[in-house]
Amino acid sequence: KKKKNADIKSKLNLTITGLILVLCIFIVYFMPRAKYQGKAITAQILESIPESGQRWQGGEILDTGGDLEGNIYNFISRIFARQYINSADANQDVLFIVLDAGNFHYPKVCFQGAGFTAEELPQRELSLAPGKIKVQLLLNKKKDEQLLSIYWICIDKKIVSSWAEQKAKQLYYSFFNKERVGLMIRMDIPVSGSIDNSINIAEDFLNDIYKNIPEQYKNYIFSEF
């Protein structure tokens, strides 16, 4: 009798699991999807990033914006990338990249694809005027070149703590068709001396640029402190 009850319970669980799976497939593939409403605000955020700060001067901007009204762009916005140089020290430069969190690959994979050996380093905190933000670090090496990649993902003004959490949130928003504004922010800095030195350069750059970003957009990039 116990075995029979266990078999019934097992079959019932399988049936419920199957029904949930069918429902998920129906929602994902057959229910109408709203166009990604975060697209417009994302474009405004990218356009608000200043060309220069008080000490850091920017060069030409790389912007892959195109026909954002096309169906293929329902969940894609634009990519911002600009090289900045410290006017007080021309040897200090930062490649600053901001892009839609649903439109990028894991940075380690990108660097490895470019021929670098990529090593994940422990998370660090960067000190900004309003507070601290937790960031991910990636040390990339190729021949005599070393780049420290510092990045974080901010979804709806909150920094996600890990790659797994970002993927979980991405799945949640896509599954339930939720509106969101998600950005990945990345800095690539040549390593000259120690990692700490590159971290200090990143902090100096961010604090300088932060001052010139309009208040209504700051939290989308740096989170709510």
Q: pTM (2 decimals)?
A: 0.73
Interatomic CA distance for residues 111 and 133, integer angstroms: 23
Interatomic CA distance for residues 52 and 126, integer angstroms: 20
Locate 101 and state its tokens.
């969190």
Distances from the Cα of 149 to the Cα of 55, 139, 146, 179, angstroms: 21, 6, 10, 29
Which letter does DSSP use for residue 212 in this model?
A: T
Rounded mean pLDDT of 148-165?
82
Interatomic CA distance for residues 84 and 97, integer angstroms: 11
Strands 79-86 and 145-155: unpaired
Locate 203 and state its tokens.
């902090």
pLDDT-derived band at 115 (thresholds 50, 70, 90) equals confident
Locate 34 and state its tokens.
């709203």
- What is the per-residue pLDDT across 52-81, written as a single tens digit (0 to 9) for each? 999 999 987 654 444 433 333 333 346 788
Which letter does DSSP use for residue 52 in this model?
A: B
Task: Provide φ and ψ at 199, rounded to 5°.
Answer: -60, -45
Rounded to the nearest integer, the mean pLDDT of the chain is: 77
- What is the per-residue pLDDT across 2-56, written as a single tens digit (0 to 9) for each? 455 555 555 555 565 556 555 554 544 455 444 444 567 888 998 999 999 999 9
